[in-house]
Structure formats: structure tokens, C-alpha cells
Amino acid sequence: MASLKVLFILFDGAEWDVINPLLKRGELPHLAKFMREGSHGSLRSLDGTALASPILWTSMASGKLPYKHGIKDFYDTANAVRCVRLWEIFEHEQLSIGLFGHLLTWPPRPTKGFIIPDWCARTPETFPPEFGFINSLNENKDWQHLLSSGLRSMKHGMRPATALVCVREALREKLFHPQRLDSYYRQRLVQLGIHVDLFVSLLRRYQPYFSVFYTGLPDAVHHQYWQYLEPEKFPNVPKPEVERYGGVIPEIYQRLDRVLERLLRETSPETLVVIASDHGGEANCEEEYRWADIHTENFIEALKLKGLMTAFRVGRKVYLRLRNSATPLGSTEEVAAFIRQAVFAASAHPVFEVEVTGEREMTVETVYLKEELEGQSLRFPDGRLVPVEQVLRLTPRISGNHSMNGILLLRGPNVKKDCEITGASLLDVVPTTLALVGRAVGRDMDGRVLTDAIEPHYLETQPVKYIDSYDQLLGKVTNETIEDSDLGMETVKKRLEDLGYIN
């Protein structure tokens, strides 16, 4: 397809430490070939912010730090993005774009091409509108659901082979009622198969100049199955479970390798292909001390701030955000003080460390927990006693967590071959892409052009150009409105719970 000039393949959470042993064993042949044909390296995520995908992908897509783009959590929408993202630069040139699953693309808007929003979308809308059914694929549901969404994909480009897998999995669900860990990754593999089919069909139909394919699969399976990948890092992982689920994460990566091959078939030697993750993955264990997971929804309820505060958890920290500056507990500082003063009723030891991180934001984590928590109560400053188990959980809900380094791989015209890039940050992806397609780089971007990955001859003949700001050029209006309606909020929460970010 000659017209596809730039293709981003985004694997949320993909991690070199998982990839490298598989590469060594020859189990990711297409990725290995891609590495020989281009440049690759670690991609440093952002310091000083929650390692949360909406924040990170927006930084990657804009080349800007979070204080410039304004995105704070999973509850934001595209309306809250305060700067230009890469595809808008191409749209400004009247070029067509195709976005599939990129975070913060809801609500979708008309464009020359397609916009299929991400798993945090509040409603099923897409552009063009007939793809609304894709949204319902983002949930694990029963076999009827699997079957019906699969069948609806048929007329939009799902291949017969994928349809067969869909029917097979639906039957498995119906006949064997598998446990959650058995069906979780299998259903997601079915979704991925359907997504890839639909994306390829959309690519062929719209022939976009710039396109993105995003999948959250690596991150989702890291959260759920990491203890089986590295059982030695966790206390008491049952051996039969290790045998049963130890191969899930490698299997997912092998599948992504085949997805890569399929997507690359839609490119030409003229296409710049960028493969990236926003952060990596690692075992969610802290051996030197014990800590407890905060049950986010119960915690908010215990504060009597239900509906007034949103939360998500990454690792030890819970990130809280007030939806209004005034609450029954007072200002942000007063809410923070209230949480700080909560104690274990028996010992009067404090329970939470709180840091105010913004005008309406704070992070909370549990302090060193020597006490045996079972049967104890927490006492809040207003005198209320709440059972510990209602708010805290001693065993973390998820066994895989986000790590600081993701992956970056580039291939295409003027990209160096078989080259290792060092020191790349996710802020560098957009400046580097712009340089490689002969566009100016914004001086207000926080990343740099990764010149180490570019052929010197190209840089000599096409020196990097600069422009003050695409935000100014495109007349991007700083939009301070926050999506504070409850529309679709329950759907978003359900998906966050499924991944382990809340509750």
C-alpha cells in the first residue's frame, strides 16, 4: 500500500526483559527481523508522574510533558488534551489518518480516515459510525457476547479463520465455564484477532497517510500473570498454577510477533514503522517490607467522598483526584490532612502517607505495616471506626506492575539498520518521526530528534527544521473544560477494575 507513510504499532507495557529471552530462543522471528532492518532500544518513561497509560501515551503523541498536555488519569477524555498530537499535524495538511485504539481519542470526530477510540471510551461511538460494536469487544463477557460481537465483525472484514476461533472460544466458555485466569487471556486473544482483522480492513479501505494500531494486551497480561512468569519472586505461588499459566505471557508475545508480521504486510519500503511501549513491566513485589493495597472504591466511600473523587492505583500508590475543589471534608489540603490522621485503632499508628501533588490531586500509600491487620479497625479523625479489611488488602491484587523502561523500534527510509539506540525517552518519538518524514519539529516539544537512529546522509541533506509551536500554528485552543459528566463513567470503572487499577 503505497500511501501508508507512517505506521505506529503500540504495545502497551511491552518489556525487553520478557522479549530478550524469547528472541534468544528464536521465538519472535518477525521482531528479530525488524530489529536487523532498523534501530531499537529502551524507551525511558516519564519521571515524576504516575506511570499511567493515558498520561504517557499523550506525552508520546505530543512530545510534551504532562504539565503541558494536561492529562492526569483514566477519567480524562480527548477534550482535555491541551496540545497538538502528531496526527493533527498531518490532518492539518489535509492528509488522511487512521487511529485504532489510541488512548484519549474519545469522543471521536470526523476526519479523512477513521478514529476507533480506546478502551477508556465512555460510549461506543466511532468514526465512521458503523464500528460502534468494537467497543463491546473490550470486555470479557459470556460466550453469547463473544459470539455475537464476533459475528458482527464478519461484515467489516473479520477473516473466516478468526471467526472460527471466535466460535471455538465461545463453545469452550459455554461448555466448560473456565475459571477467570483460563478465560481472561484467551478472550483477549480473540479480541486481538478481531481488532487486527478490522484494522487491516480499515487500512485498505481508507489508505491513511498516518496510522496507529494500539493494543493493551501485554500490560493486561503482565498485571494478571507475572507471578507465574517469575514465581521465585513471590511467596507461595502454587506449582500447578505455575505449570498452567507460566506460558501465558510468552504466548502473548509470540502472538504479537505474528500480529507484527501481519501489519508489516500492509506497509511498503517507503513506510516508517514505529513500534513502542509507554512503560515496561516487572514483578509487583516488595520483598523488604510489607504493604497493603488500598481498596480504592471502599476507601473513597470511607472518606464519604463517593462521586466527588476518582482514583486509580499503580504499584504501591493510589492517585486521587477531586472532581471539585470544595468537598464535605474541605479543600484538597484538608482532605489530605484527614487521610493522614487516620490510625490503626489499637496502636494509634498512622496508616497512610499522603502527598498533595496538584491543585486537586494527591497520592496515598500505606505506611510500613508491622501489625497483623486481620480483625483490626482504622479510626478516622471524625471518630468513625472502619474494619481494616474493608479498606486494605494485604496481598496485592495484581502481580505484574509497570516499570520505567519501555521499548522502541524504528524501521523505514533513512533509519539506520541493525542499530541500538541508547538514552531514548518517550518524548523523543514525535520529534524523531517528524524529522524522518521531513517535517519541522516544535521548539516547544520536550523531546529531541534521535539522530543516532538516522542515516547521517539524510541528516546532511535534510537538516532538522524547527517551528516555534504547532499549537500556535494549528490554533489549538487551550481547553480547560474537564469531562465532569458521569456519562459512561461506570463502563470505564468496570474496565479499570478488570485490569486491577481500582478496587
Which residue number, 197 or 219, has a Cβ lying nearer to Zn ion?
219
Minimal distance in Å, beta carbon 196 to Zn ion? Answer: 21
Closer by beta carbon to Zn ion, 55 or else 83: 55
- Residue 464 CB, nearest distance to Zn ion (Å)? 34
CB of 175 to Zn ion, least distance (A): 32
45-74 residues near Zn ion, rule: CB under 5 A: none
Nearer to Zn ion, 279 or 360 (CB): 279
Q: Which DSSP state fits 122?
A: S
498 scored as a contact of Zn ion (CB under 5 A): no
Of the candidate spans 90-98, 218-226, 263-271, 364-372, the one that interacts with Zn ion by CB under 5 A turns out to be 218-226
Q: How far is CA 139 from CA 106, 151, 292, in A?
A: 17, 16, 28
Q: What is the closest distance, in whole angstroms, from the C-beta atom of residue 215 to Zn ion in the complex? A: 13
Shortest approach of Zn ion to residue 219 CB, angstroms? 4
> Binding segment for Zn ion among 29-37, 213-221, 348-356, 441-449 (CB under 5 A)?
213-221
By beta carbon distance, the residue nearest Zn ion is 219
What does DSSP say about strands 377-379 and 385-387: parallel, antiparallel, or unpaired?
antiparallel
The answer to whether 261 and 275 have CB atoms below 8 angstroms apart is: no
**Least CB distance from residue 401 to Zn ion, whole Å?**
8
Of 56 and 121, CB closest to Zn ion? 56
Residue 219 makes contact with Zn ion by CB under 5 A: yes
Measured in residues, the chain has a length of 503
Piece of 217-225, 351-359, 410-418, 441-449 that binds Zn ion (CB under 5 A): 217-225
Minimum distance from residue 255 beta carbon to Zn ion (Å): 18
Scan residues 382-441 and list those touching Zn ion (CB under 5 A). Answer: none
Q: How many residues touch Zn ion (CB under 5 A)?
A: 1
Residue whose CB is less far from Zn ion, 208 or 281: 281
DSSP 89-105: HHHHTT--EEEES-TT-
CA angle 480, 482, 487 (to 5 degrees): 155
Report yes or no: 372 and 7 within 8 Å, Cβ to Cβ: no
Choose between 103 and 445: whose C-beta lies nearer to Zn ion.
Answer: 103
Q: Which alpha helices (DSSP H) does 212-247 contain, by range?
A: 217-229, 239-245
Nearer to Zn ion among residue 55 and residue 203 (C-beta): 55
| Shorter beta-carbon distance to Zn ion: residue 150 or 500 | 500
* Shortest separation between residue 501's beta carbon and Zn ion, angstroms: 7
CA distance 211 to 192: 17
CB 71 within 8 A of CB 62: no
Identify which of residues 13 and 98 has a Cβ nearer to Zn ion in the complex.
13
For residue 461, the minimal CB distance to Zn ion (Å) is 42
Q: Where are the beta strands (DSSP E) in 334-437?
A: 343-344, 352-358, 361-366, 377-379, 385-387, 392-393, 400-403, 405-411, 419-425
Return the C-alpha cell found at 262: 501481519
Output the CA–CA distances (angstroms, integers) from residue 32 to 23, 25, 121, 255, 278, in the order listed. 7, 11, 34, 14, 20
37-45, 175-183, 214-222, 410-418 -> range binding Zn ion (CB under 5 A) = 214-222
For residues 405 and 44, the answer to whether their CB atoms sit within 8 Å is: yes
Q: Dihedral sign, CA of 408, 412, 418, 422?
A: negative
What does the binding site for Zn ion look like in residue numbers (CB under 5 A)? 219
